[in-house]
Structure 1
Amino acid sequence: MKAKLIALVFGAVFGSSVVNAQSNDCATMAALAYDDAKAKNYDAAYEPLMKVRKECPKYSLATFQYGERALKYKIDNAEGEEKEAFIEELIELWEERLELFPQKTSKGKVYGDIAQLRFDYKIGDKEDQYEAFDKAFTEDPDNFTSPKGIYAYFSLLVDMQDAGERSLEDVFAKYDEVIAKVESEENELAERLAPLLEKQDQAETLTAKEKTLVKNSEINLKAYNQVKNAINGKLGQRADCDNLIPLYTKDFDEKKTDVDWLRNANARLSAKDCTEDPLFMRVSEALHKLDPSAKSAFSLGQLAEAEGNRSKALQYYNEAAELEKDNSAKARIYYRIAGNYKDQGSFSQARTYYRRALSAKPSLGSAYLQIASMYAQSANNCGNTTFEKRAVYWAAADYARRAASVDPSIASNASQAASSYMGRAPQKSDIFQEGRNAGEAIKIGCWIGETVRIPNL
């Protein structure tokens, strides 16, 4: 019994010694490898990092973070078969990281990075590359956010359609998905940006962290806008009325009781303003009869508007907005309603609907720009003195600047509009003559009913 106890104690102590020794070996190897990687001496760091990865895979996430940098360096500086080997090794490293550190690794980002690597270096055919992106998009869409990756994903599908390997319907369906994804990312950025822009408008000082957030948000908004333009460019004439109308006319009789088909045809024809062809009315009426929805109501609104029946159009548009669940689509409906009221000179009603559009889609900069335009048009009617009337242009300029900040696609026009409004607003000498000071609030009357602060000119 005593001998057995001694053996157990010896085994426990010996086992603990082995574990401690292994732990110490891992720590020593890792420290040396990490030091070279921190110094960006990746040639020296590469082999030690791969040894730590092989012998102590769970030691630290840093092994994989530094390993990724070292392998990217190797890929950039290798050629031919050696480059291909490093590429495959990097893919394996990402997959191992996901397996060993799932709580600290984004599946969507890893799959997206793998797909991008295969795309950039033309590994596999287009089908293989597309499936790699599709894995990221379908399994973890929240973390597949790379503008470059989203474009490559759609571009590959269009290329396969050109080669006869995918249908035009496949391209349209994927287009809707990727545009919705881009707009979702834009809206998240714009929502974070909105309160900071308001803070700037009120002449409040932003913290360093807030300034960085504003800068990064504007950079990313610009990137997503460029991707959206590139996706639309890639889609090209495939989505023109000349292609859509024959495509849907051919299948209408067979599909006129298929709600999903009618819904897709209606949305595509509506989005491209293919509303003058009789097919659009046939599709819209069939859809509204089978499944009254936001899209069918909106289409009937378009038809009523085309016929000059504005009140009926607004009735359908409001019905569509109430039924619509998708925020981007809801914003487009509210924007259309606002435009109708603006054309009638009902600026207060128009602003209400532009604001509803912005509430649904904060990145819709054109809504801010329309409000700015209405303010500028109302300057002579809002204020008791010349100074107060001209102060309205400061409010118009504020809205134009917001438009430029949240929507890079109209940033140039919006910035020019803001400069124009500032040129018509009171200048430094006017402020001095009125005995006013920078930061002082001025209440704007009439339908505008807002307070604007005198800028520090």
Structure 2
Amino acid sequence: MKTKQALLLLFASLSALTATAQDFKCEDNFKILEDKVIAKSYDDAVTLLPALRKSCPKFSDKLYVYGETILKYKAEAARKPEDQKLFNQSLADLYAEQEKNFPNTGGNVKKAVLLHEQKLATDDEVYKLLDASFAANPQGFTDYSAIELYFNLYVKKYEAGDKGITQDEFIQKYSNIAGQVAFSKNYIAQKSDELLKKQKTETLEPAESLFIKEAATTQKSLDAVGENISNKAAKYFNCEKLDAFYSGSYEKNKNNIAWLQAMVTALYDNKCQKSETLYTGAMALHKNKPTYSTAYMLGNLSLRKNDRKAAVVYFNQAADLQQDDAKKAETYNAIASVYRNLDKAEAKKYSLKAAELNPKSGKAYLFLAELYMSASKECNLSNFDKKALTWLAIETAKKAEVAEPRYKTTVAALISKNYSKALPTAAELKASGKKKGDTITYGCWINETLTIPAL
């Protein structure tokens, strides 16, 4: 009954409102609607929405946020398909009104996704909406579902073979959309970093707190979309073709940040790491617009060139550009790995920094445990002290499972299959003149004191 009443009110003629529009109080009625939405009284709120849409379309952009919440709820709650269709159509109209009254706020993008999901428009109609939105405001085109839909519909056109799309045009479109994924990830990361900084000195708005909370999930979704796009596009070109396409256009586009972003993303995502055009473009992009992503990419590309010194420099830059402690810790883990066979004191330093930054990750402790095991070949240790160092490795490995319980099986396997066999025997302990509770102080890069446990 409530659905029927809501529909009657929602889609009834609003001619009566026109006559009394001058008496309609936008601020008062908007506040009533806002209170209803906050209280989740959507059945009541839906009856207020038509008048506000008619008489106060430009009063506040929040009208469209609240309207979206109301109509999505009503569509999902509708029991009859025809009722659901009516609410979804009203939602599509709401998005169009949002775009008209608050341009470039994503109304048409959301409308296109909705029309496609609900089969309320043809693929060509949906594609045209997305294409126009992307051309008009690429900075606002960050919704991962819209980006993936845009590419999938373009691929469908290309595969149909009747749209006159050349391979070069396909590569350019692919790179533009892949670049948009990278742009969106950078946007999410930058905004999240700004809010994390703000959080240290100010109380965030609910929407800002929600953005931080959802940032990691959104980034993962964008990662998945980027991977899906690359996998689907890879059927139509290879690294040689990509490199030829971009190297031929590089000089005239080398100062175009959007083009560089698209090019670098396309080559990197397709694992074309031998491409000099990729490295040159990544350097130019980082110089013009340094981000965590560009610095981390250059770190990996430097490793590919076996330039470990440069890799460490770029990974440190990436860490400095990252506000999220978990990602910063992962970058320190990468630096520790680079130093593993170069400078174990530095490797240990960065592992400890990673462990301190992200106490819920066990990765750094597993790395340190293996690092201690490798010390048996250096530091001028006696045979007993070399074997005793295994106790430190076991103690460190166990910290990994405390930090991250999923490593429990891994740690147990390491100890039983590798570490236990390297421990001193009771006879070796006795011959050393030491006993349970005695300490061994290690210098060199290890710089730790071990208390001998019971055998």
**Residue 22 of structure 1: how far off its partner (Å):** 0.9
Q: Is the aligned partner of 1:352 residue 2:313? A: yes
Moved more, 125-134 or 53-62: 53-62
**Residue 79 of structure 1: how far off its partner (Å):** 4.6
- Contact persistence 1:400–1:415 (CA under 8 A): yes
- Contact persistence 1:118–1:124 (CA under 8 A): yes
Q: Deviations over 1:242-299 (max 9, x none)?
A: xx65x999x9xxx9899879x99x98789757799xxxxxxxxxxxxxxxxxx8xx25
1:107 match: secondary structure = coil
1:95 aligned partner: 96
- Contact persistence 2:299–2:310 (CA under 8 A): no
Corresponding letter in the other structure for 2:92 = I
Counterpart CA distance in 2 for 1:401 and 1:159 is 49
Which residue, out of 136, 143, 146, partners 1:146? 143
Moved more, 33-42 or 112-121: 33-42
Q: Is the aligned partner of 1:393 residue 2:393? A: no
Corresponding letter in the other structure for 1:120 = E
Counterpart CA distance in 2 for 1:27 and 1:271 is 49
- State the number of aligned residues: 347
1:85 aligned partner: 86
2:219 aligned partner: 221
1:46 aligned partner: 46
Counterpart CA distance in 1 for 2:284 and 2:52 is 59
**1:191-210 paired onto structure 2 within 5 Å:** 191=190
2:178 aligned partner: 179
2:168 aligned partner: 169
**Residue 91 of structure 1: how far off its partner (Å):** 2.4
Which residue, out of 114, 121, 128, partners 1:131? 128
Counterpart CA distance in 2 for 1:110 and 1:194 is 26
Counterpart CA distance in 1 for 2:191 and 2:352 is 21
Counterpart CA distance in 2 for 1:19 and 1:48 is 15
Counterpart CA distance in 2 for 1:45 and 1:212 is 23
TM-score, length of structure 2 as denominator length: 0.56
TM-score, length of structure 1 as denominator length: 0.56
**Residue 147 of structure 1: how far off its partner (Å):** 1.4
- Contact persistence 2:181–2:226 (CA under 8 A): yes
Corresponding letter in the other structure for 2:312 = R
2:180 match: secondary structure = helix
**Residue 20 of structure 1: how far off its partner (Å):** 11
> Structure 1 residues 320, 44: CA separation in 2 closer, same or farther (over 3 Å shift)?
closer
Q: Deviations over 1:173-221 (max 9, x none)?
A: 12211222222232344456679999xxxxxx99986998765433332
Corresponding letter in the other structure for 2:168 = E
**1:36-435 paired onto structure 2 within 5 Å:** 36-57=36-57, 63-76=63-76, 77=78, 79-100=80-101, 102=102, 107-164=104-161, 165=163, 166-191=165-190, 215-240=213-238, 298-299=276-277, 321=283, 332=297, 335-342=300-307, 347-355=308-316, 368-378=332-342, 382=345, 392-393=347-348, 395-396=350-351, 398-399=353-354, 417-423=363-369
**Residue 420 of structure 1: how far off its partner (Å):** 0.9
Counterpart CA distance in 2 for 1:49 and 1:275 is 54
Counterpart CA distance in 1 for 2:64 and 2:215 is 28
Q: How much identity, in percent, do the aligned residues show? A: 22
- Contact persistence 2:352–2:364 (CA under 8 A): yes
- Contact persistence 2:34–2:66 (CA under 8 A): yes
- Contact persistence 1:338–1:354 (CA under 8 A): no
> Structure 1 residues 184, 99: CA separation in 2 closer, same or farther (over 3 Å shift)?
closer
- Contact persistence 2:104–2:137 (CA under 8 A): yes
> Structure 1 residues 321, 40: CA separation in 2 closer, same or farther (over 3 Å shift)?
closer
- Contact persistence 1:376–1:396 (CA under 8 A): no
> Structure 1 residues 35, 206: CA separation in 2 closer, same or farther (over 3 Å shift)?
closer
**Residue 157 of structure 1: how far off its partner (Å):** 0.9
Counterpart CA distance in 1 for 2:45 and 2:354 is 53
Q: Which runs of 5+ in 1 are unaligned?
A: 1-17, 199-204, 277-294, 303-316, 383-388, 406-413, 437-443, 447-457
Counterpart CA distance in 2 for 1:66 and 1:211 is 18
- Contact persistence 1:151–1:231 (CA under 8 A): yes
Counterpart CA distance in 2 for 1:111 and 1:90 is 11
1:441 aligned partner: none
**Residue 356 of structure 1: how far off its partner (Å):** 5.4
> Structure 1 residues 358, 126: CA separation in 2 closer, same or farther (over 3 Å shift)?
farther
Q: Which runs of 5+ in 2 are unaligned?
A: 1-18, 254-258, 373-391, 397-436, 447-455
